[in-house]
């Protein structure tokens, strides 16, 4: 009996938090069905609007807290784009800034109790990554024409190795959206799953204090990871944009 009670106490499913569910009813999910994913993505957009539009509409000389946060975010991403891509990459700053803010808000909102993290789903991050991949690829050919293929030709290498290196470069280029999307989704999913596992052990009285300490530590780490993953996704986008603007090795 004691074994059964202990087993039931430890009966938890850390991956259930990632299940996509319709907001209304229990029917099948179609492409137009409002789900918990669409709800929390919409809340992320609303949060961005409140910060960047409502929070800065006063344009005070001495900024409010919200205006200060908005200005810090703007300056942070602006400097990142300029440092990585150069002055000619600043015209694409609005797109990159939008990516950064959406991922940051989606990540941080997912840390709220009973919330859902859209960026923990590969379906969401894959769309973001494919949008970046297609944008920089099309831009590379539009800006450079056939010279964009110079991205795959390592002219500094010995002539005999250049075809092999070109093949490797080509494969790595098409793997970009895969690694770009999996990195973000995998990190967000793993952190939330670990927190849920520790929360499951909190039901056991003997180890509940240790479990609470572990949850607190993991939550603090997840706050850091939420920002870092948005930063990594954004700076990789800047690197890919730089390749499109300046494709020559």
Cβ-count burial of 43 within 10 angstroms (0-12 exposed, 13-18 middle, 19+ buried)?
A: middle
Residues whose CB falls within 8 Å of the CB of residue 100, separated by 6 or more in sequence, listed in order: 73, 77, 230, 231, 233, 234
Structure tokens given for 96:
């990159």
Q: What is the DSSP string of 163-199?
A: HHHHHHHHHHHHHHHHHHHHHHHHHHHHHHHHHHHHH
Q: How many domains does the chain have?
A: 1
The domain in which residue 158 lies consists of: 16-245
In a domain, 151, yes or no: yes
Model's pTM, two decimal places? 0.88
Contact 114, 108 (CB under 8 A): no
In a domain, 29, yes or no: yes
In a domain, 209, yes or no: yes
Q: What is the pLDDT tens value at each position of the chain, 249 positions in all?
A: 444 444 444 566 778 888 888 888 887 888 888 899 999 999 999 999 999 999 888 787 788 899 999 999 999 999 999 999 999 999 999 999 999 999 999 999 999 988 999 999 999 999 999 999 999 999 999 999 988 888 888 887 888 888 998 899 999 999 999 999 999 999 999 998 988 888 887 777 777 888 888 889 999 999 999 999 999 999 999 999 999 998 875
């Amino acid at each position: 009996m004691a074994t059964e009670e202990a087993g039931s106490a430890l009966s938890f499913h850390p991956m259930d938090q990632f299940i996509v569910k319709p907001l209304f009813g229990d029917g099948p999910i179609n492409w137009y069905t409002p789900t918990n994913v669409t709800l929390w993505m919409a809340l992320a957009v609303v949060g961005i609007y409140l910060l960047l539009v409502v929070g800065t509409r006063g344009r005070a000389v001495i900024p409010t807290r919200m205006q200060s946060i908005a200005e810090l975010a703007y300056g942070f991403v602006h400097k990142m784009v300029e440092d990585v891509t150069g002055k000619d990459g600043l015209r694409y700053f609005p797109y990159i800034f939008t990516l950064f803010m959406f991922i940051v808000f989606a990540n941080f909102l997912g840390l709220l109790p009973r919330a859902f993290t859209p960026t923990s789903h590969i379906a969401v991050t894959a769309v973001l990554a494919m949008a970046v991949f297609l944008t920089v690829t099309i831009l590379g050919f539009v800006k450079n024409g056939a010279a964009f293929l110079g991205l795959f030709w390592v002219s500094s290498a010995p002539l005999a190795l250049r075809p092999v290196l070109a093949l490797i470069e080509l494969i790595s280029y098409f793997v970009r959206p895969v690694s770009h999307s999996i990195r973000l989704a995998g990190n967000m999913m793993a952190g939330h799953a670990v927190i849920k596992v520790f929360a499951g052990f909190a039901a056991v009285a003997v180890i509940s204090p240790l479990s609470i300490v572990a949850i607190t530590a993991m939550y603090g780490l997840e706050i850091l990871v939420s920002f870092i993953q948005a930063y990594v996704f954004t700076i990789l986008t800047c690197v890919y944009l730089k390749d499109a603007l300046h494709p020559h090795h």
